[in-house]
Amino acid sequence: MNHIGREPLLDSPMLRERYLDVPLAVDVRMPPVSLPLASAPQAVAEPTVLLSLVVPMYNEEEMIAQFFDTTLPVLETIPGVTFEIVCVNDGSRDSTLDRLLYQSSLDSRIRVIDLTRNFGKEAALSAGLDEALGDIIVPFDADLQDPPHVIARLVSKWREGYDVVLARRSNRDSDSLMKRMTAAQFYRMHNAVCDTHIPENVGDFRLITREVAEALKKLPETRRFMKGLFAWVGYRTAVVDYAREPRAAGTSKFSGWKLWNFALEGFTSFSTLPLRVWTYIGSFVALGAFLYAAFLITRTLIQGIAVPGYASILTVVLMLGGVQLIGIGVLGEYIGRIYFESKKRPVYLVRSRYQKPGASDV
């Protein structure tokens, strides 16, 4: 029988002892506990990152002292950043190496990579990227046409979450009219015939993350067109505009002939359209020859045999010979690239590396 809501039966002495001897109320209060007051949120300092400034140099003895006097104070003012300057001596024939070693002996943040000979700027830049230790890397020229203070703007843009920050020249008045015209034409032609588009008026000056640098190291080609390789790897990209300044001292090491060959390197590295064009040209010439033959046959049937035209024959032969030679030349450019790539030679060779002891300060 259920006794819901009733007093329990205490007829048994054992039950009476069990229930009546237990106090009805037990003081189980806990001593007061003081809870910490919520403190105001404190600002979290941004983690310090290492920036590597990669500077290829070839016969830049006139620029060494001015370069470091200008660049070091700027890098020291960038918040949340420590830095190293990786100087690649690309087989200089003047006193560039001696002056670099002097600067390196004064500051452990300056590293010098001495190549065995002049391999070219693209190879020297590749060496600098391979040697750089930074979380972010900035390729930079020693002529100071790219102002060092722009580096802080690149870092600020990178902190917004970008992997690549391009430095785009909004003003190229420091360059000659011919150089500006030929550069603009190169960018248009390259982007028209190549699948990989190069941003116009953007050189090697940019910021890339360690992830991008590691991706570039995986690219196996030895004939390197770095502007195209930077664009090929992709990643999330932003742009910072700046005005380019005149060269601080010395002279440019790129002649018109070297720039022409550099442009050809860009075309043949990222497009096979020049090869395909000659298929179309050959088809057009063959169609023209067929139509001209049909015309001659028709005219002969109607008017009879005309006097042979040696001048016209010679003109046609020379024209076709010139077209064939140009086509062979284009084909030779690609075969030459295959030839060099098949050798599997290293992009560069390092003779020595120099750095003042105490590099842990970086």
Q: Quick: pLDDT tens for 102-155.
A: 888 888 889 999 999 888 888 888 899 988 898 999 998 888 888 888 899 999
Q: Is the pLDDT of residue 8 over 70?
A: no
Q: Which residue has the tokens 């990579």?
A: 113
**In the β-sheet with 49-57, what is the strand arrangement from edge to edge?**
237-243, 164-171, 202-209, 136-139, 49-57, 81-89, 110-115, 350-355
Going by C-beta distance under 8 Å and a sequence separation of 6 or more, which residues neighbour residue 317? none
pLDDT of residue 87: 92
**More confident call, 21 vs 192:** 192
Q: Which of 10-24, 101-115, 245-259, 345-359 has the highest mean pLDDT?
A: 101-115
* Mean pLDDT (whole number) for 313-341: 75
Tell me if 89 sits within 8 A of 96, measured CB to CB: yes
pLDDT of residue 88: 92
**Weakest-pLDDT range from 70-74, 152-156, 288-292:** 288-292
* Mean pLDDT (whole number) for 272-299: 72
**More confident call, 38 vs 62:** 62
Q: Quick: pLDDT tens for 184-212.
A: 676 677 666 667 777 777 888 889 899 98
Q: Is the pLDDT of residue 1 over 60?
A: no
* Mean pLDDT (whole number) for 317-339: 76
Q: Quick: pLDDT tens for 140-188.
A: 888 888 888 889 999 988 888 888 898 888 776 656 666 667 666 766 7
pLDDT of residue 234: 81
- Residue 72 corresponds to which amino acid? L
CA angle 14, 17, 18 (to 5 degrees): 85
**More confident call, 44 vs 100:** 100
Q: Is the pLDDT of residue 290 over 80?
A: no
Q: Is the pLDDT of residue 346 over 70?
A: yes
**More confident call, 7 vs 294:** 294
Our separate counts of H helices and E strands in the chain read 11, 8
Tell me if 41 sits within 8 A of 52, measured CB to CB: no
CA distance 272 to 329: 14
52 pLDDT tier (thresholds 50, 70, 90): very high
pLDDT of residue 191: 65
320 pLDDT tier (thresholds 50, 70, 90): confident
C-alpha dihedral (235, 237, 242, 244), degrees to nearest 10: 20
